Amino acid sequence: MKKFLEEVEKNNIGKIEREVFLSKYTTYKVGGLCSCVIYPKDVNKLVKLIKLIKKYNLKYKVIGNGSNLIFSDKKYDGVIIKLSALDQIKIVGNKITVGAGYSLIKLSNMATKASLTGLEFAAGIPGTVGGAIFMNAGAYKSDMGYIVKDVKVLTPENEIINLTNREMDFHYRTSFLQKHPEYICLEVVLRLKKGKKSEIEDLIKDRRKRRLETQPLEFPSAGSVFRNPEGDAAGRIIESLGLKGLTKGGAQVSPKHANFIVNIGGASANDIRELIMYVKNTVKDNYDIDLKVEQEFVNWE
């Protein structure tokens, strides 16, 4: 790792943070120590970084805002890559070209200012564009798959190619990138529709009010824990079993919304994982419904 970091510095790849806790980079505020977090300055520096990582045979993971990740409490002996510098945006007509590191909430605001409709669902999702593409983030019966024209990616062979919406294989909370994590999202082209700014603003305001009333936004969480099974809501199922308010260490099934697990103070990653698995197993035992966890467990092997 020492020689690798020396080469990263020599090649002026970008900012390096050494020996940092991953709790700083996830919305759950949990996660063990990490060898380093690197912020490549641009796509060329990212390509160079990936080559160095492979040269030294290091494990790595690209993350956005960590709003769907649960890192374990043990050390991540590898490289975390953050694409914060890939944050360029261009709006031409009803088309938005935006970098993977751009904030999804900020993007929704920019679309609103340009009187473009289609991104209202993203106004409350605290992720990056790249993370949203990876997860096919969505809400209110819409998701990224409805608005993506194409995605620029870095392939495992370090080639930069465009994947069409069809090639991205978007489905409910999944995409081509989830099944091929060695591909890295660099930039996205979105195709929206012209709308009335006042109507877009009213819709976002109404949904924000609803979120504040129904979701435990006052505590660290990663949003919905489980995907909704077809024709039902995971929150309703969990609540019907009397699991609201159940705690494990500093983790709790939110009394406000049963499909949220929150860090009420000092939770470990293990507390959160154990509580998630307890809820999942309880639902399976009682209803024979196998709830699918929407969040990604990292470094638990």
| Mean pLDDT to the nearest integer, 143-169 | 97
**Fold entry, domain 218-298:** 3.90.78
The predicted pLDDT at position 141 comes to 87
Place of tokens 């698995």: 277
pLDDT at residue 234 above 90? yes
In this prediction, residue 128 has a pLDDT band, given cuts at 50, 70 and 90, of: very high
Closest CA to 111 of 49, 17, 200, 172: 200
User: Cα angle vertex 17, ends 16, 18, to 5°?
Assistant: 110
What 3-state class would DSSP assign to 112? helix
| Catalytic one of 173, 175, 221, 273 | 173
The predicted pLDDT at position 105 comes to 95
Its pTM stands at 0.94
| Domain extents in the chain | 2-82, 89-199, 218-298
Residue 224 annotated as catalytic = yes
| Mean pLDDT to the nearest integer, 96-113 | 97
Residue 230 annotated as catalytic = no
Q: Which overall architecture, per CATH, does domain 2-82 show?
A: 2-Layer Sandwich (3.30)
| Mean pLDDT to the nearest integer, 77-106 | 98
pLDDT at residue 149 above 90? yes
| Catalytic one of 224, 254, 268, 273 | 224
The predicted pLDDT at position 66 comes to 94
| Mean pLDDT to the nearest integer, 263-277 | 98
Rg (alpha carbons) of the chain, rounded to whole number = 20
Average pLDDT over the chain reads 96
Spell 244-257 as b/e; 16+ CB within 10 A means b: bebebbbbbbbeeb
Cα separations in angstroms, 116 against 25, 97, 143, 201: 31, 13, 16, 11
Using an 8 Å Cβ cutoff, are 206 and 198 in contact?
A: no
Could you tell me if residue 169 is left (phi over 0), alpha (psi between -120 and 50 degrees) or otherwise beta? left
Residue 294 annotated as catalytic = yes
Q: Which overall architecture, per CATH, does domain 89-199 show?
A: 2-Layer Sandwich (3.30)
Closest CA to 93 of 193, 201, 187, 200: 193
For 17-26, what is each residue's pLDDT tens digit?
Answer: 999 999 999 9
pLDDT at residue 86 above 90? yes
